[in-house]
Structure 1
Amino acid sequence: MMHLLMICAVIAVAFWLRCSWQQPQGNWTVRWQRALFLFLFPPLLILMTAIALLCMGSQGQMGGLQTGWFSYVLALSYLTFSCILGIKLLWEGWQSVKSTRNCAVVNVAGRQVRLLNTGALFAASIGFWQPELVLSQGLVQTLSTEHLETVLAHEQGHCHYRDTFWFFWLGWVRACTHWLPNTENLWQELLILRELRADAHAASKVDPLLLAESLLLVASTPPVTSLICCAALSSNGTDRLEQRIEALLEQPQSTPEFNLRSWHGFLLAFLPLVTVIFHS
């Protein structure tokens, strides 16, 4: 009974936090911290609760109330389901990496890239911790050398922030908690912020106007169907493209590096683990 109360309380908190999300406001830093917290904290809280219940087992007492097998099986099922999803995404990501390595290596604007044999305009970083840059043959033939340099600078931004690696794990969180409110809205918010960050990194090295022109040229490209371990130049949707163009034309915003203090709030998600000491 006590374990079921824990599960209900945690799910209620997760729903409440997710429902508190509103349309994005403020600068890049404020939007990023809020979106990341609301996207990641509720699943982390649920995950820690499931681990705590698994550690306590199906027998014993907690707070004077008897624990049972139902909550134990529920926690075990959720953790097993999450692990299966993670293995599935890892396999799909590895297949994308293997497919990428079948592409020829060419030199573009002084950099070694993989050349995708298609006429579509496509540029992406594909991989995990150390992704490889993939450009389509159509993009290389269509864009000038100056525009190609802006594309390379944008993709270098993704590599600098390890976007493919971190968004693989965020994609796993998304798959595990698709049933929570605003999961897709927060995911799309994180994607546009990821692109704005890469654009800002590129704008510090190349002409922002040239980068904006490259975005418009690639806008006709069909969206990437898999975001498992891929960070692409193209924008899915007119609104996202407009945000990126406007950000490039305005005064560039600073994108601060990793700050440990911004993660202090996530420590509260580990509170369910403390309840293990009260189980007997």
Structure 2
Amino acid sequence: MTASGYTDARPLQVRVADEIRARIESAEYAPGQQLPTLDDLAQTYGCSLAVIRKSLDLLRQQGLVVTVQGKGSFVRERPTARRHGIERYSRSTWKNGKPILTAEADMQGHKASQVIRELAEVPAPAVVAEKFGVPAGTPVWVRRRTTLINDRPNQLADSYYELKVVEGTLIQEENTGPGGGFARLEDAGYLLDRISEEWTVRMPTGPETVALRLPAGTPVVNLVRTTFDTTGMAVEVMLATLAGDMVSFAYDFPIPD
């Protein structure tokens, strides 16, 4: 311990990375701006080029810096996040003909689109089977799609339904029609009443990194969403993986008794 306080025990490359990160967070180094050269950074922080390289590696892993071969390192430009909140499920929205994704994006000034990856009868994964109250492996219907915000993939979303629920509905077709899947469930006689969401955060798999175009160090957010009708029956289970740098959460609700 020194006379002025505790000695900073962080390795030098961590201290340098933290100082550069502070400049990025304060916008001294703005999104898209090229960082000083390795030599300039080494001179600024009074360290070796090897330390600077390790510091930049840390910043790349944290998703703050990208390196372009032959050009240098740049502050990563932050993509626009889509906010998630309770109001996104308002019946007035999808009853008026807009799918939830499109309506939410429109309200936030974004452009939303989606690509259907699969429409098929598949064995129910364990978590889906548990929500439906059926044995794992029971045949169910799945709609797998990739959603995009401003042309960048932001979510891999797989919605599962019991076969008896979707038989003969547009949920089995690529185009679900005005209002999307929620509207079609109500058309089929399932009056929607309640939604349960479970969120977890983890690092992505290799295929998820590719599918969502994730920079190094970017986590993903897992969502398990269960939609119930007025009888308490689970009528849809969605398993989604969202790019962690493209989502934010904003909830406003009464405090429960």
Q: Normalising to structure 2: TM-score of the pair?
A: 0.30
Higher alpha-carbon Rg = 2
Work out which structure has the larger RCO, using CA pairs closer than 8 Å and 6 or more positions apart in sequence: 1
Q: Select the structure that is richer in helix.
A: 1
**TM-score, with length taken from structure 1:** 0.28
Higher strand share: 2
